[in-house]
Amino acid sequence: MDSLDKGKKNPILSSFSYAVIGILTAIKAERNMRFHLISSLIAIGLSIYFSITKIEWLFILFAIGGMFALELINTAIERVVDLVTTEYHPFAKQAKDIAAGAVFIYAILSAIAGILIFMPYVLKPFQ
């Protein structure tokens, strides 16, 4: 939170605005966030088109939300590491690689969930 918040009337509203600014900043600055945004819009479009079940919607929404959350955390870790050191350090590389690895694992899990949910709908006309 910013030190300028002390004079504001609604600190909760300010917190939400900072969160939205952070999300928009990541979308503008990070190619992977834009990829995840487009992928999530495609997943939502397919979910609407196929009229998936409520349980399937939950899996899709958690996959999308988790992916965005992890990508935001990864971006934050990268920014902090870059702020702390401009020189190469093995721990800095490890921190970035480990955070990226978490995103990668979740992306694979989300893709598998998407395949398991949408494949029966896609294959239904061919059966």
Task: With H, G, I as helix, E, B as strand and everything else as coil, classify residue 87.
Answer: coil
Q: Is 5 annotated as a binding residue?
A: no
User: Letter for the amino acid at 22?
Assistant: G
Q: What angle do CA 35, 42, 39 make, to 5 degrees?
A: 20
Q: Is 87 annotated as a binding residue?
A: yes
DSSP 2: -
Q: Is 121 annotated as a binding residue?
A: no
Q: Is 56 annotated as a binding residue?
A: no
Instruction: Kindly state the tokens that stand for 52.
Output: 């998936």
Catalytic, out of 33, 56, 60, 71: 71
Residue 56 is among the residues annotated as catalytic for this protein:
no
Q: Is 96 annotated as a binding residue?
A: yes
Q: How far apart are CA 83 and CA 67, in angstroms?
A: 24
Number of H helices, E strands in the chain: 4, 0
Q: Which residue ranges make up the annotated binding site?
A: 18, 30, 71, 78, 87-89, 96-97
Which of the residues are catalytic?
Answer: 71
Known binding residues for ATP are 18, 30, 78, 87-89, 96-97
Binding residues for a divalent metal cation: 30, 78
Q: Which residue ranges make up the annotated binding site for substrate?
A: 71
